[in-house]
Homo-oligomer: A and B are copies of this chain.
Amino acid sequence: MSPRARAHAPSTARRPAPTTERGADKREAILQAALELFVERGFHGTAVPEVAERAGVGAGTIYRYFASKEALVNELYQQQKSRLLARILRDFPVAASAREQFGTLWRRMAAYAKEEPLGFAFLELHNHQSYLDADSKALEERITQFGLGFIAQAQARGDIRAVDPMLLVGIVMGAFIGLVRRSTECGLVLDDPAWTTAEQCVWEAIRV
């Protein structure tokens, strides 16, 4: 290890984002380029200079905004997960029936998958185990806990099957991701009617 301590190279996970327009532009361009490439070839299959080139910046510039390739991928992960979560939770119909709540959840996920296909593909179609940091894992855990709570509540009301909530999460989320994967890899057309049909199918899997 080099004995040279870089006073000007902060080691903390997140650099302070410059707030000028240009700075914000570059930061976003880098995140967008990384998103595209990580979806195409995976994290380990993407070289940092490739990200730089697609973002239209110099290779060194990436390190003004992100401490490392790992910091970049974690930022991307947390950004996308938060965005998905925010969409799902905004004014969630807490007082509605389980059936309606499920429909809302499903439609919001479908809207996200449609409007941000890269974000969704990045989040769900890849295996992040080898580079997620503690913050990212904590975020993931929070989301899971929220989902489990929601299910437990509905089970208490007798609206969905009284089985291990994690099992239901696996079925529902798995089915959703399976549909997206089929559309990406096998040409399944996921228009609104298709999403509606799928929603009705999956509801049958968990209803009482």
Residue ranges of A at the interface with B (Cβ–Cβ < 8 Å): 1-4, 6-8, 40-47, 49-50, 52-54, 68, 70, 125-127, 129-131, 144, 161, 163-164, 166-183, 185-189, 194, 197-198, 201-202, 204-207
Contact = CB atoms under 8 A, between A and B. Distances in A.
Nearest to A169: B182
Copies in the complex: 4
Nearest to A70: B1
Contacts of A189: 164
A101 B177 CA distance: 24
6 contacts: A6-B47, A43-B44, A163-B197, A167-B197, A170-B178, A201-B206
A188 B171 CA distance: 12
B45 A171 contact: no
Contacts of A129: 40-41, 185
A205 to B, nearest CB: 4
A197 B188 CA distance: 28
Contact of A53 (B8, B46, B125): B8
Contact of A201 (B41, B171, B186): B171
Contacts of A7: 50, 53-54
Nearest to A174: B178
Given A6-B47, A172-B175, A174-B181, 15 more contacts: A1-B68, A1-B70, A3-B130, A4-B47, A8-B52, A42-B44, A42-B130, A45-B130, A164-B189, A169-B182, A170-B188, A171-B198, A172-B178, A174-B177, A174-B178
B179 A170 contact: yes
B175 A181 contact: no
A173 B168 contact: no
Nearest to A68: B1
A45 B163 contact: no
Contact of A127 (B6, B42, B131, B169): B42
Given A50-B7, A127-B127, A166-B188, A175 B182 contact: no
